[in-house]
Structure 1
């Protein structure tokens, strides 16, 4: 997944009341991430106070001072500094300094001063964050370097997949598809692509400019060759996983002695021996050792028996050990001298010689087996990484936490990848990843860069990323290039210098998640679409919530978001829910939203988009159409069924309920299926 995110189990969801409460947001730490958070929060039109330890001489984002209501200089861990920043009036505190220790200590102090404020903390300590969420409450933590990992990986792949995320054990992916001539998807209406597992996010006709925002596409438009279609879907893999039983019935376990007794009969013993022998098919040396061992055991017993029969006065122990000495190569010790006090028949000496030779052979096989095991263990310990791919691979430069996360994700996608690092990488880290270690300039020559599919430069040094990115672009101008940056200014300048490259500012991507979380939302993931950051956001409907009582159609088209999951209480969640569902207290939904969409929901009815369409119902073809048409009108428009029936019995007539365009067009299509003729009319 994109970066690792922890959300407090007991975090309080806020009501989307309108208008916005006159409270403040506090940002502690005005580094790169802090400044980006200020910009993201200001997009919601709120008041922001910041705390910085020392007065900055320059700003990465020049307009930051104008966006702040107040700047307090001091240590955000001190009560006096937090009080000066009016923490009692702050709705949320964003602790985003570069020190996890400072962020954690400041979180404790902030909670003591304001028991209700929401704490959004920059931290990578997963276990500690989970404990803090339980004790502090209304707490959420993010690791900003990990949040955009999925975005970096998908950008490096250069495929039609723009994003993916997991919900309720199912994987959803966002796909951008360019319709080719002869494509089976061509010549279909856009709304036909919507289904129980898919939702259209945008449709861009060929040669048209990209339109930002959701629901800007025309449902009745015909998809042509050259058009770009973006949609979110539940993948088949996750669907197949969901069909498997979640639990298995436990079988009653029998006592061990019963298993032993049942296994002692000849049929079971024969079956187990056969299974064991088949298991050693790929290990022939073990088979030789087993056969040799059985043969030596037989010879051992045979030799002991022969000595007992030939020398009745000899003890069993002496006969046993004499045979063991012979098997261990001790023939010379027993028969090496010429003065033999005990007469030994010639045939017994010959058998003893055979025992000595057989024992020597067995010891040789045993030594061979041990040598093979030692060498195998040594080669396993010194196992070399796979060779560098020759072509169509992704080169990941910089194998820190982000680089490792991207490389691991690319391997999950079965994408050929090679990593480049200037420090030795632990052999246990991504053991199947080809790695080139050394100077980046020399390593690029060894990475088969001219035939690479794309290059991702993701070190922690922004200037090094710039240098290596330019070197990679010179070596492979036609390949994809993704550069990780941290400062807004450099990102814009580099994007102008390399227009074909994807310059992704890690902190700008993460800041939108921090800002969304500050309003009490659960941000599950994020991805990029048409140069916008899309946040996968979860809502829980509570008493006094302005979302309560709205149709999902009104939420989607009024606030500009895309619902992808709906859950009624403890019922099974529904993916790609119907627009006709009415939200109620206790319901849960997950939406795809831009920061503008989140802002509209935050502001409530004040910012909901107006409904500009009505439906003129002209004619019903038969009495059954009147009945079915009234049902469709009541279901889609959410008007009273009596009102819909009155309209259908007095045609032609206009439905006085205002609708959004997509909602009205769907009603017209449903009426057509019910053999009722209708059309849209705009509200002037």
Structure 2
């Protein structure tokens, strides 16, 4: 396995492949991101082969394993991680990393163009290579997947993509982590994994009271740790080193775990992008968006006066009702002739209609100006409304913040954004969704107050600076001590210290610290193992993966019932793909349109425990990282440690 990158995701991904899946990994990083300047995970840092690729020269220093950490948790001897320095993922660097013999290559540079250029080169060097590419642009990613898979087929004609095992998976760390970050900030909502039309929801349930029957949902994904609400506990930060929750428990464990909360799975049908209630004028805007309430009442009063005059004219003059209304409108707009020589009643009605017409003129001018202001305001950033409360304050509209904003609005959760840069990536999305935005530095006094943080339900700090996120969280807690806070922090030790301190100082408030690279690494690693990862859901400090798997070739499933295929703590079948094998798409996340133009997932969620899985079936699994590694058969048989043999 080869991992190429220039930030924390690359090092975490290398650690995931080495520690969880037991793979031989080559990590390619720029010289400035070598192990002296990057805090590698402990196992990777102790077990590395370092090489430098600079100006075409290669030098390597091999270190032998010298600690018990070099032996995998399952007992086998793990080869160390090979670290290789390269200024860019050029053809020379990829060849030196062994791309021609590799099974998979992950390109996780922060720059999309760098990843695309390296992917094209790698596909040419090794058509069988499995590619996992980090791209923020989802539409471009879809086209790139098709292009690279087609290139592999052309390079090796006569073989199918499945036979070649040459697949391309484009993932975004922001998309992978955004559902978890959005769910962390909102009480009572779910942890969500979304891939286009597929939406899974993991709901935290509090322990049932005496005599209450717990709702199991589709299945129970996890039992929460007993220290979830303990201020002295260590839950809430990444890699805190404390024993976590129980993932994928069986029914006996769920029944015996009294007093512990659970995480259950639900499915949510999603029929397309969320349509904001406030739309642009000219695209189905309501009358309330164009005219204010006071102006609407004024227009209604004028209309009532005109109707009353028309009815009175009809009753007193004996004219036809339509003629009476016509004459009244002529008088109203000053078009009719003066009623000289007419009966007194007619003259009085003409004067009254003229007065109503004088009142109508400023009302029409005001309505025109208000409609014009609505049209112009549709292209401007909104300010938080006065009575807003119970909302989420989102700090930062960069790559991650933009994706989180979209997820929050899909869940119909009110949001107020705070962004220092008026040209930030997420500003156009906020303007299109009509989300209020406060432009300013969150560390400056008055900015969070403008976002109504004192009446907010949660604060989600997602800027790229740890100190900015921490400062905003501490200040918000002084304004509202019970505010729910979720921080994006890079350093795990720092995150753990911050979490414990905030939780001890505010035991009644919920605090969470999350790392985007930690949340995204399991999904990238799973995709490198050759299966389409649909998403990942964090459960306290652990992660559950959702993956599509063909039953054929897996004795753990083939010929067994759904109940028999369930292995507590490792994997569980949660859905069945009902589409015919010839009609299945490689990516379950990309739903197929039916004849009516709608999208159908083709997944059966309410599976009977007695259903016997066949070789031609494809299932959706909830699995732990180690469980998925075992299913993929990537771990070798335990080998003796050479130091003791």
The TM-score normalised by the length of structure 2 is 0.65
CA distance in 1, matches of 2:305, 2:556: 77
- Structure 1 pair 359–536 and aligned structure 2 pair: CA distance change class (3 A): same
1:284 equivalenced with 2:300 (yes/no) = yes
In the other structure, the counterpart of 2:475 is: 471
Q: Is the 8 A contact 2:560 2:612 kept in 1?
A: yes
- Structure 1 pair 170–99 and aligned structure 2 pair: CA distance change class (3 A): closer
- Structure 1 pair 369–564 and aligned structure 2 pair: CA distance change class (3 A): same
In the other structure, the counterpart of 1:314 is: none
Q: Is the 8 A contact 1:484 1:504 kept in 2?
A: yes
1:37 equivalenced with 2:37 (yes/no) = no
- Structure 1 pair 232–329 and aligned structure 2 pair: CA distance change class (3 A): closer
1:113 equivalenced with 2:125 (yes/no) = yes
Q: CA RMSD in A?
A: 4.4
Of 466, 469, 474 in structure 2, the residue corresponding to residue 462 of structure 1 is 466
- Higher share in helix: 1
Of 467, 483, 489 in structure 2, the residue corresponding to residue 485 of structure 1 is 489
1:428 equivalenced with 2:458 (yes/no) = no
Q: Is the 8 A contact 2:174 2:403 kept in 1?
A: no
1:47 equivalenced with 2:76 (yes/no) = no
In the other structure, the counterpart of 1:623 is: none
CA distance in 1, matches of 2:502, 2:431: 36
CA distance in 2, matches of 1:53, 1:167: 32
CA distance in 2, matches of 1:480, 1:434: 20
1:143 equivalenced with 2:172 (yes/no) = yes
Q: Counterpart of 1:145 in 2: which secondary structure?
A: helix
Report deviation, 1:538: 1.3
In the other structure, the counterpart of 1:257 is: none
What pairs up with 1:236-315 in 2 under 5 angstroms?
A: 238=269, 284=300
Q: Deviations over 1:612-637 (max 9, x none)?
A: xxxxxxxxxxxxxxxxxxxxxxxxxx
Q: Is the 8 A contact 1:49 1:70 kept in 2?
A: yes
Q: Is the 8 A contact 1:457 1:469 kept in 2?
A: yes
In the other structure, the counterpart of 2:184 is: 155
Q: Counterpart of 1:578 in 2: which secondary structure?
A: coil
In the other structure, the counterpart of 1:598 is: 628
Q: Deviations over 1:465-513 (max 9, x none)?
A: 2332333344444332210023445334434544563110111111111
Q: Count residues with an aligned counterpart.
A: 495
Q: Counterpart of 1:87 in 2: which secondary structure?
A: coil
> Which has the higher Rg, Structure 1 or Structure 2?
1
Q: Deviations over 1:579-620 (max 9, x none)?
A: 433333331111112211211112279789xxxxxxxxxxxx
Q: Counterpart of 1:486 in 2: which secondary structure?
A: coil
Question: Runs of 5+ in structure 2 lacking a partner?
Answer: 49-79, 150-166, 229-242, 272-295, 312-318, 320-329, 505-510, 582-601, 639-645
In the other structure, the counterpart of 2:643 is: none
Report deviation, 1:233: 2.7
Q: Counterpart of 1:227 in 2: which secondary structure?
A: coil
Q: Counterpart of 2:100 in 1: which secondary structure?
A: helix
Report deviation, 1:552: 3.3
Of 391, 397, 400 in structure 1, the residue corresponding to residue 398 of structure 2 is 400
What pairs up with 1:411-422 in 2 under 5 angstroms?
A: 411-422=409-420
- Structure 1 pair 605–492 and aligned structure 2 pair: CA distance change class (3 A): closer
Q: Deviations over 1:191-228 (max 9, x none)?
A: xx65xx5212334697898543322662583674x332
Q: Counterpart of 2:633 in 1: which secondary structure?
A: helix
In the other structure, the counterpart of 2:134 is: 122
In the other structure, the counterpart of 2:263 is: 230
Q: Is the 8 A contact 2:4 2:89 kept in 1?
A: no
In the other structure, the counterpart of 2:163 is: none
Q: Is the 8 A contact 2:202 2:264 kept in 1?
A: yes
CA distance in 1, matches of 2:397, 2:307: 50
The TM-score normalised by the length of structure 1 is 0.62
Report deviation, 1:185: 1.7
In the other structure, the counterpart of 2:192 is: 164
CA distance in 1, matches of 2:302, 2:563: 68
1:574 equivalenced with 2:604 (yes/no) = yes
- Structure 1 pair 170–522 and aligned structure 2 pair: CA distance change class (3 A): closer
- Structure 1 pair 570–491 and aligned structure 2 pair: CA distance change class (3 A): same
CA distance in 1, matches of 2:115, 2:301: 60
Of 441, 462, 467 in structure 1, the residue corresponding to residue 444 of structure 2 is 441
Q: Is the 8 A contact 1:162 1:528 kept in 2?
A: no
Q: Is the 8 A contact 2:21 2:629 kept in 1?
A: yes
- Structure 1 pair 438–463 and aligned structure 2 pair: CA distance change class (3 A): closer
